[in-house]
Amino acid sequence: MPPARRAARIAERSPPAPPVSNSRLRAIVDTAIDGIILMDTRGMVTMFNPACERMFGYAAAEVLGSDIKQLMPSPYRAEHDQDLDNYRRTVEPRIVGVGREVIGRRKSGDTFPLELSVGEVDDDAEVSYACVLRDLTERKHADELREKFIEQLTASNEERTLFVHVASHDLREPLRMVAAFCGRLAKDYGDRLDERGAEYLALAIGATAQMSRLLDDLVDFGRLGLDAARGSKFVANQVLDQVLENFAEPIRESGAVVTSDLLPQVYGNPIRFHRLMQNLIGNALKYVAEDVAPRIHVTAVREGAFWRFSVSDNGIGIDRRHHEQIFEPFKRLHAKDRFKGTGLGLAICRKIVEGFGGVMSVHSNEGQGSTFSFTVKIHGEDNDSGRTDA
**Same structural domain, 185 and 245:** no
**Same structural domain, 201 and 322:** no
- Among 87, 103, 135, which residue terminates a domain? 135
Distance between CA atoms of residues 373 and 361, nearest Å: 5
- What average pLDDT does range 204-209 have in this prediction? 76
**Same structural domain, 21 and 118:** yes
Does position 112 have pLDDT exceeding 80, yes or no? yes
**Same structural domain, 29 and 91:** yes
Instruction: Place 385 in a pLDDT band, splitting at 50, 70 and 90.
Output: very low
The DSSP code sequence of 121-182 is: EE-SS-EEEEEEEEE-HHHHHHHHHHHHHHHHHHHHHHHHHHHHHHHHHHHHHHHHHHHHHH
Distance between CA atoms of residues 5 and 240, nearest Å: 64
Chain centre distance of CA 162: 23
Q: What is the pLDDT of residue 386?
A: 47
Buried/exposed code over 277-310 (b: 16+ C-beta within 10 A; e: otherwise): bbbbbbbbbbbbeeeeebbbbbbbeeeeebbbbb
- What average pLDDT does range 251-271 have in this prediction? 90
Instruction: Place 120 in a pLDDT band, splitting at 50, 70 and 90.
Output: confident
What CA dihedral angle connects 131, 132, 135 and 136, to 10 degrees?
-100
Whole-number CA gyration radius for the chain: 35
Does position 151 have pLDDT exceeding 50, yes or no? yes
**Same structural domain, 124 and 37:** yes
**Same structural domain, 234 and 370:** yes
- What average pLDDT does range 242-265 have in this prediction? 90
Q: The domain that contains 312 carries what CATH number?
A: 3.30.565.10
**Same structural domain, 166 and 315:** no
- Among 114, 135, 156, which residue terminates a domain? 135
Which domain range does residue 206 map to? 137-223
Q: What is the pLDDT of residue 230?
A: 60
Q: How far apart, in Å, do the first and last CA atoms of the chain sit?
A: 64
Structural domain count of the chain? 3
Distance between CA atoms of residues 219 and 274, nearest Å: 17
Does position 1 have pLDDT exceeding 50, yes or no? yes
Length of the chain: 390
* H helices present in the chain, as ranges: 3-13, 22-31, 50-56, 60-63, 76-90, 137-189, 195-223, 236-246, 248-254, 270-286, 345-355
Q: List, for residues 83-96, the tens digit of each pLDDT value.
A: 666 665 665 555 55
Q: Above pLDDT 90, what percent of the chain?
A: 22
Question: In 3-state terms, the chain is what percent helix, strand and coil (to 5)?
Answer: 50, 20, 30
- What average pLDDT does range 260-271 have in this prediction? 88
Count Cβ atoms within 10 A of the Cβ of residue 43 and give its class: 0-12 exposed, 13-18 middle, 19 or more buried. Answer: middle
**Same structural domain, 33 and 173:** no
Pairwise pLDDT comparison (257 vs 388), residue with the higher score: 257
**Same structural domain, 52 and 192:** no
DSSP class of residue 2 equals -
**Same structural domain, 299 and 382:** yes
Q: The domain that contains 125 carries what CATH number?
A: 3.30.450.20
**Same structural domain, 263 and 316:** yes
* 237 CB neighbour count, 10 Å cutoff: 20
Query: Looking at 8-17, 30-39, 92-101, 310-319, which range is the least confident one?
Result: 8-17
Q: List, for residues 26-79, the tens digit of each pLDDT value.
A: 888 888 889 999 988 888 999 999 999 999 999 999 999 999 988 998 777 777
Distance between CA atoms of residues 284 and 261, nearest Å: 17
Q: In the predicted model, what is the mean pLDDT of the chain? A: 78
**Same structural domain, 288 and 245:** yes
Distance between CA atoms of residues 371 and 369, nearest Å: 7
Q: What is the pLDDT of residue 26?
A: 84
- What average pLDDT does range 220-237 have in this prediction? 67
- Among 100, 135, 170, which residue terminates a domain? 135
- Cβ neighbours for 353, distance < 8 A, ≥ 6 positions apart: 276, 359, 360, 374, 375, 376
CA proximity to 41, closest of 81, 76, 11: 81
| Backbone angles phi and psi of 123, in degrees to 5 | -105, 25
* Alpha-carbon separation of residue 275 from 78, 350, 352, 362 (angstroms): 60, 11, 9, 18
Q: List, for residues 273-300, the tens digit of each pLDDT value.
A: 888 888 899 889 988 888 889 999 999 9
